């Protein structure tokens, strides 16, 4: 090597890191403190969920897909149930669709509050971390009251509707809790919008321009933080077609924009839940499910808006209780290419913040094959 040839430092980020306890490794090529190139290697987790979906009967798969991701478990079971219901041409009761929207948004708020706390912790804002997670306890309590479990509420979904209802005094209790929670979350807004240290660590960091976000297929808050008005909920699945709301969009395309999207989506989701509760109060108690009369046959796709972005299910059935194929694409897989485009040019100290800004869930993204050296 000639003395004039530039030397770089190669640093591994992960697969075990205090900021990101997710099984992914980023190999960072650094020129002193600046990242000039990055490569990704994952494949540390192989849970075989898609194969298991072919071994279980189609009804038991509702419980299986709820374990793809604990944080957004309701969206997984909802997306799967919608696919099976489409194959069976089932008409879901109106009340069940409203209940599905309520629990989906409850799941979204829990996920966003968890992420906001982790993001604050990654920057050293320990007090803000504890405050976001304190407010998250309200959501987990509501999940237990309305769904029977503090974490896994995806099992509220069944093929043909839901197996639980929200009525009576529980409606008033939920409304009081959500109204109180909205005020407490709103009170944390000045820390995000005005604190100079918070903004210095996020503004301009991990820049993803709109055209590049489109080209690389970004989804969810990662895409909306770059000015892309994309949200699967706008297509009107479940009872979303009865709602009038606009996706939360920020145009700056940096880590700060992605924080703002998730923070204001949290408030928006609370408002949506309050509307759902008010609708359930006015609606007469009616059926919340219809019983399937046949086994699924054919193939179809289903899409929902998970907290991290578009969740995609492909289901192929053959008229028996067992599926021929189950294929799942989670939003983290879509957001990894944009992440790799954000990192070059950043400072090494900003890498944890930029990585967390896409809210990665690696175990969700690679639950079916090993990807990387020697993988498939």
**Chain-centre distance of CA 104, in angstroms?**
11
Q: What's the pLDDT score for residue 244?
A: 86
Q: What's the pLDDT score for residue 368?
A: 46
Going residue by residue through the chain (376 aa), what tens digit of pLDDT does each one get? 455 577 889 988 877 766 676 778 889 999 989 999 998 887 777 778 888 999 999 999 999 999 898 888 999 999 999 999 999 999 999 999 999 999 999 999 999 999 999 999 988 899 999 999 999 999 999 999 999 999 899 999 999 999 999 998 999 999 999 999 999 999 999 999 999 999 999 999 999 999 999 999 999 999 999 999 999 999 999 999 999 889 999 999 999 999 999 999 999 999 999 999 999 999 988 899 999 989 999 999 999 999 999 999 999 999 999 999 999 999 998 999 999 999 999 999 899 899 999 998 887 877 544 433 333 3
93 vs 324: CA distance, rounded Å: 28
- Domains and their CATH numbers in the chain: 47-365 (1.10.645.10)
Q: What's the pLDDT score for residue 124?
A: 87
Give the global pTM.
0.93
Q: What's the pLDDT score for residue 371?
A: 37
Q: What's the pLDDT score for residue 286?
A: 87
363 CB contacts (<8 Å, ≥6 apart)? 22, 23, 45, 47, 69
């Amino acid at each position: 090597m000639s003395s004039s040839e530039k030397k770089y430092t190669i640093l591994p980020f992960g697969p075990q890191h205090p900021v990101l306890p997710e099984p992914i490794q980023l190999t960072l090529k650094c020129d002193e403190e600046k990242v000039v190139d990055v490569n990704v290697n994952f494949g540390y987790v192989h849970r075989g969920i898609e194969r298991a979906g072919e071994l279980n009967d189609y009804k038991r798969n509702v419980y299986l897909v709820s374990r793809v991701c604990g944080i957004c478990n309701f969206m997984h079971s909802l997306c799967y149930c919608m696919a099976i219901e489409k194959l069976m041409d089932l008409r879901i009761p109106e009340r069940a669709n409203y209940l599905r929207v309520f629990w989906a948004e409850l799941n979204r708020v829990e996920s966003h509050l968890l992420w906001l706390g982790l993001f604050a912790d990654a920057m050293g804002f320990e007090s803000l971390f504890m405050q976001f997670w304190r407010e998250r306890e309200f959501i987990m309590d509501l999940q237990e009251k309305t769904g029977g479990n503090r974490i896994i509420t995806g099992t509220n979904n069944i093929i043909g509707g839901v197996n639980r209802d929200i009525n009576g005094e529980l409606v008033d209790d939920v409304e009081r809790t959500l109204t109180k929670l909205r005020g407490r979350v709103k009170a944390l807004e000045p820390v995000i919008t005005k604190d100079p240290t918070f903004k210095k660590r996020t503004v301009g960091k991990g820049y993803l321009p709109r055209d590049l976000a489109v080209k690389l297929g970004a989804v969810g808050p990662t895409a909306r933080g770059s000015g892309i008005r994309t949200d699967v909920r706008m297509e009107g699945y479940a009872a979303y077609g009865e709602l009038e709301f606009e996706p939360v969009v920020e145009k700056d395309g940096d880590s700060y924009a992605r924080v703002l999207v998730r923070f204001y989506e949290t408030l928006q989701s609370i408002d949506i839940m309050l509307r759902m509760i008010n609708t359930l109060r006015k609606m007469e108690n009616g059926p919340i499910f219809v019983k399937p009369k046949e086994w699924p046959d054919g193939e179809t796709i289903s899409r929902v808006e998970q907290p991290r972005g578009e969740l995609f299910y492909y289901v192929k059935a053959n008229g028996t209780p067992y599926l021929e194929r189950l294929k799942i694409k989670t939003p983290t897989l879509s957001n990894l290419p944009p992440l790799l485009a954000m990192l070059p040019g950043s400072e090494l100290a900003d890498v944890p913040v930029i990585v967390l800004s896409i809210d990665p869930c690696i175990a969700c993204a690679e639950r079916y094959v090993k990807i990387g050296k020697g993988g498939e």
